[in-house]
Structure 1
Amino acid sequence: MLFKLRDLERIADGTLTLAFRRWKRGAVRPGSRLRTAVGIVAIDTVEEITEAQVTAQDLRSAGYASPDDLWKDLARHADGQLYRIGLRMAGPDPRVALRERSDLDAEQTAEIQRRLAGIDKAARRGPWTHDLLRLIHELPATAAAELAERLGRDTQALKRDVRKLKELGLTESLDVGYRLSARGEAVVRGWAKRAADDVPDSTA
């Protein structure tokens, strides 16, 4: 379920508490949580209704000045079932707080490494997480297509992989490309430090 940014901002400040959609079958359920640009949006109610059941209060709660504005918005899905969806802000996106945590202790570092190793193990093409994190570290704000080309990857597949790293709080999306979060930078710095520590002292 997608929202325009202006609607997300109104959900965030509490002025928009309803949404209407036409679907051939319900796309969300009561109790669902949606991650959005402004935080977590909670879906409290999902009701199948008719056009005649839409009230003036419903229109105001959904941000419409008139029924015509609502029908115009829904015109692309005129043959779907009309749904009235009650929603509210449920809090910030936990990934935002997670990616700012750069003071990793040994246990947290080991957990991140375990998660990355699990992703690599499940990949049919072999390990990729370290290479992609290092490349984003070296080339922040670089278009996904260019990153994919450098790695010999398909662009859409690379974007899916970046989302897996984002789930761990290691990357952030930019208008163009990505960058490592503070947490991601700490992880990559840790790799570099361990690699340096492993290099034999040639002066010994």
Structure 2
Amino acid sequence: MLLNRPTAEGIAAGTITVVLRRWDVPRVKEGGTQRTVAGTMRIDSVTECPGDHRVTAAQARAAGYSGAAAAQAELDRRTAAHTYLIEVSYLAPDERPELAAADALADDDIAGIGAQLDRWDAATGPWTREYLRLVGDNEAVRAPDLAAQVGADVPRFKRRVRQLKGLGLTISLGTGYRLSPRGAAFLRGGLSR
């Protein structure tokens, strides 16, 4: 589930407690968590309603809208079988910036990162080190241009870079990506092993 910055920040501040989505099938599970630009949020409950559900004033306020009409207009931009009322709460700050800045990697750190990358490569074929090198050599280059260089579709490319970001190896920019200090340290130490 994608959340824009104002919504994520509202969840972190406690002013937004509900996210409204229209989907054919649920894309989040009760008890799950999700990282956002404002930190990690918890999925407290997922309530399925008919696709033509009308948003109440209380639901709209809980979702950060000025009123039911504004929330309904946003929801009506997409047709789907169901409307989901997703209750959310703030769980913890995003640890990725601190992780990304940690560039003093011990041998155990390099081995742990390498083991995770190896698992991802084993599941889908090798890509992790190639993507790290690509991002390192092409800072602030648009994702579609990078995806074309490795013959990947853009959504898959972005998903994979987010996986690397989850390990603190890459940083998303306004346009494109760059290696984090941790990612650069891994490339220096981890690829020579």
Q: Same fold (TM over 0.5)?
A: yes
1:187–1:17: structure 2 CA closer, same or farther, 3 Å change rule? same
Indicate the residue corresponding to 1:105 in structure 2. Answer: 106
Q: CA deviation at 1:104?
A: 1.2
1:115–1:64: structure 2 CA closer, same or farther, 3 Å change rule? closer
Q: What is the DSSP-based 3-state SS (H/G/I as helix, E as strand, rest coil) of the residue aligned with 1:30?
A: coil
Q: CA deviation at 1:135?
A: 3.2
- Partners of 1:87 and 1:61 in 2: how far apart? 10
- Partners of 1:172 and 1:162 in 2: how far apart? 9
| Aligned-residue identity in percent | 37
Indicate the residue corresponding to 1:159 in structure 2. Answer: 158
Q: CA deviation at 1:77?
A: 4.1
Contact 2:42 2:89 in 1 (8 A): yes
User: CA-to-partner distance for each residue in 1:123-158, whole Å, 9 max, x for gaps?
Assistant: 43xx4433332332233112234434555x235354
- Give TM-score, length-normalised by structure 2: 0.78
Contact 2:55 2:71 in 1 (8 A): no
Deviates more, 1:182-191 or 1:92-101: 92-101
Consecutive unaligned residues in structure 2, runs of 5 or more: none
Matched letter for residue 178 of structure 2: R
Contact 2:31 2:44 in 1 (8 A): yes
Matched, 1:74 2:68: no
User: CA-to-partner distance for each residue in 1:141-199, whole Å, 9 max, x for gaps?
Assistant: 12234434555x2353543442332232211121222111111111122258x59xxxx
User: CA-to-partner distance for each residue in 1:72-121, whole Å, 9 max, x for gaps?
Assistant: 22223466434332211111233333222211112111222222333344
Deviates more, 1:87-96 or 1:18-27: 18-27
- Give TM-score, length-normalised by structure 1: 0.75
Indicate the residue corresponding to 1:40 in structure 2. Answer: 40
- Partners of 1:148 and 1:49 in 2: how far apart? 37
Contact 1:22 1:82 in 2 (8 A): yes
- Partners of 1:44 and 1:74 in 2: how far apart? 21
Q: What is the DSSP-based 3-state SS (H/G/I as helix, E as strand, rest coil) of the residue aligned with 2:139?
A: coil
Aligned-residue CA RMSD (Å) = 3.0
1:71–1:102: structure 2 CA closer, same or farther, 3 Å change rule? same
Contact 1:144 1:155 in 2 (8 A): no
Matched, 1:63 2:64: yes
- Partners of 2:123 and 2:16 in 1: how far apart? 41
Aligned pairs, number: 190
Indicate the residue corresponding to 2:87 in structure 1. Answer: 86
Q: What is the DSSP-based 3-state SS (H/G/I as helix, E as strand, rest coil) of the residue aligned with 2:21?
A: strand
Q: What is the DSSP-based 3-state SS (H/G/I as helix, E as strand, rest coil) of the residue aligned with 2:103?
A: coil
**1:185-204 correspondence to structure 2 within 5 Å:** 185-190=184-189
Matched, 1:23 2:23: yes
Q: What is the DSSP-based 3-state SS (H/G/I as helix, E as strand, rest coil) of the residue aligned with 1:76?
A: coil
